[in-house]
């Protein structure tokens, strides 16, 4: 499975750690940057990762900024993206089980490296449950198609 990854300057260090974590576990990673601590704008990186996932160039996406909030908001502007912010394992699991989240966002100012790795692992390994949740995702898709 291919995963697209991106971060702003606040998430850069944690992103680097998580990229190595993914590679060590055999994931195919496309890193869209940023590649250093210089100040950048998070929507630029959220857009690149979300576009790769929406186009099918990556099955999942990972975005890291200071809080995870801005990346989540920006990524969700792309049609077909279901980005979810997770600061704990339970929210990561539920994002996959109930929402079929295809982009995970995290806040580097709130999550230590070990917990971030655990959240990412759970999010990547948890399957979508389908069933009653499918009807709800279809309603989200109807809202997206409305385009208002």
| H-run or E-run covering 104 | strand 103-107
Tell me the whole-structure pTM to 2 decimals.
0.95
CB-count exposure of residue 61 (10 Å: 0-12, 13-18, 19+): buried
Q: How many structural domains comprise the chain? A: 1
| Mean local confidence (pLDDT), 17-35 | 97
CATH number at residue 17: 3.40.1400.10
Active site residues: 65, 98
CB 18 within 8 A of CB 5: yes
Residues 6+ apart with CB under 8 A from 138: none
| 144 — pLDDT class (breaks 50, 70, 90) | confident
- Which domain range does residue 52 map to? 2-146
Per-residue pLDDT reduced to its tens digit, 96-117: 999 999 999 999 999 999 999 9
CB of 60 within 8 A of CB of 3?
A: yes
């Amino acid at each position: 499975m291919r995963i697209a990854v991106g971060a702003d300057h606040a998430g850069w260090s944690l992103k680097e750690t998580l990229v190595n974590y993914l590679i060590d576990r055999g994931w195919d990673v496309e890193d869209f940057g940023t590649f250093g601590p210089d100040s950048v704008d998070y929507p630029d990186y959220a857009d690149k990762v979300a576009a790769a996932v929406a186009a099918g160039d990556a099955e999942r996406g990972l975005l890291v900024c200071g809080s995870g909030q801005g990346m989540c908001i920006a990524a969700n502007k792309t049609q077909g993206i279901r980005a979810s912010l997770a600061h704990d394992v339970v929210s990561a699991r539920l994002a996959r089980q109930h929402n079929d989240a295809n982009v995970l966002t995290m806040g580097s100012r709130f999550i230590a490296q070990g917990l971030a790795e655990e959240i990412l692992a759970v999010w990547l390994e948890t399957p979508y449950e389908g069933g009653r949740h499918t009807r709800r995702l279809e309603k989200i898709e109807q809202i997206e198609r409305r385009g208002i």
